[in-house]
């Protein structure tokens, strides 16, 4: 099957030099895609097939460091027979990866991660805590690279009900949101520490390459403690 149309810079400008993507940059692009997470997760849980999409996501990007941790709860709130959800936690340490790649030795991307199961009622409780919370829209950009960046995404219906908010931790306009985010993050940390790991599942990513690998041994649930 072939397709035509669109903009091809090499066709319009054949004399343009081709610059290969630096290894670290290519690795980081892959890592960000993996942290973003799959479109769905499938697993066999309690003699039942589990399937869920990313309904609740918390993410932190640490200040002055290429550190990202994403925690996402996958579930299907439409299916009343489904009583569990899957918590997916993935961590990226860009400085460590860059240092390893700079040696010139073969580098295999394997992000620290942990997957575990929680009752779906816990997810419903977390979602209810955002009920009535108002957020303001500020067009003026005043980014400070020395401040952590947080993300909240809620996807109740993957077609018609999606909310996403990204903000700087020190922004006083988000004090209430920060309190609820902190409480939820700490509760997720407790679950990741106390509950057994889920190691048999399938992730439906929108890309084929790279092959997704995780380092479940090096993941540290308490690496980031909200302040």
Return the higher-pLDDT residue of 210 and 114: 114
**Would you say residue 6 has pLDDT above 60?**
no
Is the confidence at residue 193, as pLDDT, over 90? yes
Contact 177, 154 (CB under 8 A): no
pTM score? 0.86
DSSP-assigned states of every residue in 124-181: HHHHHTTTT-------S----TTS-EEEEEEEEETTTEEEEEEEETT-GGGHHHHHHH
**What pLDDT is recorded for position 2?**
33
* Cα–Cα distance measured from residue 176 to residue 174, given in angstroms and rounded to the nearest whole number: 6
pLDDT over 70 for what percent of the chain?
A: 86
- How many residues are there in the chain? 227
Decide which of 150 and 223 is more confident. Answer: 150
Mind listing the pLDDT tens digit for each residue in 48-102?
899 999 999 999 998 777 889 999 999 999 999 899 999 999 999 988 999 999 8
Q: Where are the domains of the chain?
A: 19-210
The pLDDT of residue 7 is: 39
Higher-scoring residue by pLDDT: 135, 179:
179
Alpha carbon distance 90, 203 (integer Å): 13
């Amino acid at each position: 099957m072939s397709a035509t149309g669109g903009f091809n810079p090499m066709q319009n400008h054949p004399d343009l030099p081709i610059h290969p993507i630096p290894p670290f940059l290519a690795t980081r692009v892959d890592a960000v895609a993996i942290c973003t997470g799959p479109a769905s997760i499938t697993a066999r849980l309690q003699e039942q097939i589990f399937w869920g999409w990313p309904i609740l996501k918390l993410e932190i990007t640490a200040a002055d460091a290429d550190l990202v941790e994403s925690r996402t709860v996958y579930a299907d709130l439409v299916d009343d027979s489904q009583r569990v959800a899957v918590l997916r936690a993935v961590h990226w340490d860009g400085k460590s990866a860059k240092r390893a790649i700079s040696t010139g030795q073969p580098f295999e991307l394997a992000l620290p991660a942990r997957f575990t199961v929680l009752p779906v009622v816990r997810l419903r409780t977390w979602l209810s805590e955002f009920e009535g919370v108002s957020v303001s829209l500020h067009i003026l950009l005043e980014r400070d690279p020395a401040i952590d960046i947080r993300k909240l995404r809620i996807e109740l219906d993957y077609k018609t009900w999606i909310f996403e908010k990204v903000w700087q931790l020190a922004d006083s306009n988000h004090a209430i949101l920060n309190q609820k985010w902190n409480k939820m993050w700490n509760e997720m940390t407790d679950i990741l520490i106390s509950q057994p790991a889920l190691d048999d599942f399938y992730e439906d990513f929108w890309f084929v390459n790279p092959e997704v690998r995780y380092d479940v041994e090096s993941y540290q649930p308490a690496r980031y403690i909200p302040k």
